[in-house]
Amino acid sequence: MIGRRSLLGRLHCRGVSIHDASRMVAMDSSDSDPDFHTSKHVNKNNTQEDDSVISEDISSTEPEPLLASLASQTAVVTDSFNPDSFSSGISSTPSKDRWWTSLAVIGISLLLFLSTSFVMTIVAAIYVHGSFSASLFSNPDSLRQVTQSPVGLLLMIVTPQLALVTPCLIAAYLSPHPMRQRLALVKGNWPVWAWISAALATPLIGIISGIIIGLFLEESAALKEMSDIFRQQSQSGFITQLILMIAVTPALCEELLFRGYVQSRLTQVFRPVFGVLVSSIAFAAFHMDPVHVIAVVPLGLFLGWLTWQSGSLLPAILAHFTNNLVSVLAIIIAPTADTNTFSLPALEFTLGIFLFGCLGIAATSFAAIAYRRAPPTPIGTTTTPT
């Protein structure tokens, strides 16, 4: 038995299977063991049958090769932690946007706008007068000289507008969603001709609201002074620069803040009516002057509806630009003696506003019906094409 065990150990270490080694040991021991040699012929048939049964069991239960098993397990693990499947699972259940960031951005923008306006007034005064004193703010003539300077007017209008839009641009950049999508700078679901029709309708809405407000309220001193400044700048050949400052800059900066960031974020959390109303009130409040605030509320509501209905901020930017452009041209064309901003400008200009405005309202209404807005999709979700 000792020799049998040592032979079994030697064969196993040399890589022979246990089953084959057992048979070899049995054959080796049969020559030396008389009892086993005697019973070999008796059990030969049974041994062959048992060997065939055992070989069938071994072949049926033979495990997979090691490399194939590891490969299959690796495939399972890879599928379980596939980033694509993981991200698609997350995108199917979007997280709810944080609405309070809209209010925070409005507050920060207001503080930055006021502080920048104060600083730029000092800088413009130093540029015009060569020095600055505290009595400048109490002297209307000194301030008027600053606003009559093209550079001074540029500093006092454009720079605060850039400060106004900066917080929302930073917030949109830091957002986990794409910046263009967060600011609604997408094509939307309206064709370009609908953008143009809405832009043509906007001045008519502004002039009608101005006429109605003029029936109940008198024009404020701030609006009269602003009209005088625009008229004086146009007479000095500053028309192009004035249009860029009054029409282009507010259309971009104010729309990016109020309709692009604030409204698009609020409408993802609350009802669209609430988002449009809040952004429109905030837009009007930033104009500071009480009469001006009331006058621009209808315009803000229209621009908010236009952004939500079209699914894009671009039509509102174009409409805001058109409204401010027409307002500046109306002040320039109006007779000098007629200083009321809410009064009608030259007859031809007014008829043109009403004609194109009515066509624009009709075309915009058709676009709103023909290109109905799809149900709102939360930002960050992925849609599966059908």
User: Does 5 score more than 80 pLDDT?
Assistant: no
More confidently predicted of 2 and 288: 288
Residue ranges of the alpha helices (H) in the chain?
2-13, 18-32, 34-38, 44-60, 66-80, 83-91, 100-129, 140-148, 150-174, 179-182, 192-216, 221-235, 239-243, 249-254, 264-266, 272-285, 290-310, 314-333, 347-370
274-283: pLDDT as tens digits: 999 999 999 9
Q: Which residues contact 188 (CB under 8 A, 6 or more apart)?
A: 310, 311, 312, 314, 315
- Mean of the pLDDT values across residues 184-212? 93
> Considering the chain, what is the average pLDDT of its residues?
77
Q: Contact at 8 Å (CB) between 345 and 333? A: yes
Q: Contact at 8 Å (CB) between 275 and 308? A: yes
- Closest of 321, 284, 312 to residue 374, by C-alpha: 312
Which pLDDT score is estimated for 340? 54
Which pLDDT score is estimated for 14? 43
- Mean of the pLDDT values across residues 366-371? 94
Residue keyed to tokens 């832009």:
199
What DSSP string runs through 58-73?
HHHTPPPPHHHHHHHH
Integer-rounded Cα radius of gyration of the chain: 41
Backbone angles phi, psi at 17, to 5 degrees: -70, 160
Which pLDDT score is estimated for 333? 79
Per-residue confidence band for 198, with pLDDT thresholds at 50, 70 and 90: very high
124-159: pLDDT as tens digits: 989 988 887 777 777 777 888 888 888 988 999 999
User: Does 115 score more than 50 pLDDT?
Assistant: yes
d(CA 341, CA 250): 19
Per-residue confidence band for 171, with pLDDT thresholds at 50, 70 and 90: very high
User: Does 386 score more than 60 pLDDT?
Assistant: no
Residue keyed to tokens 């060997």:
51
User: Does 287 score more than 70 pLDDT?
Assistant: yes
Interior angle at CA 234, CA 298 and CA 110, nearest 5: 45
Per-residue confidence band for 211, with pLDDT thresholds at 50, 70 and 90: confident
- Closest of 331, 125, 137 to residue 224, by C-alpha: 331
Per-residue confidence band for 96, with pLDDT thresholds at 50, 70 and 90: low
- Mean of the pLDDT values across residues 52-70? 47
User: Does 27 score more than 80 pLDDT?
Assistant: no
Per-residue confidence band for 349, with pLDDT thresholds at 50, 70 and 90: confident
Here the tokens at position 252 are 């971009």
Which pLDDT score is estimated for 375? 52
Q: What percent of the chain has pLDDT over 70?
A: 68
Instruction: Spell 277-296 as b/e; 16+ CB within 10 A means b.
Output: bbbbbbbbebbeeebbbbbb
Q: Which residues contact 242 (CB under 8 A, 6 or more apart)?
A: 230, 233, 234, 328
Q: Which residues contact 11 (CB under 8 A, 6 or more apart)?
A: 20, 21, 24, 25
- Mean of the pLDDT values across residues 295-299? 93
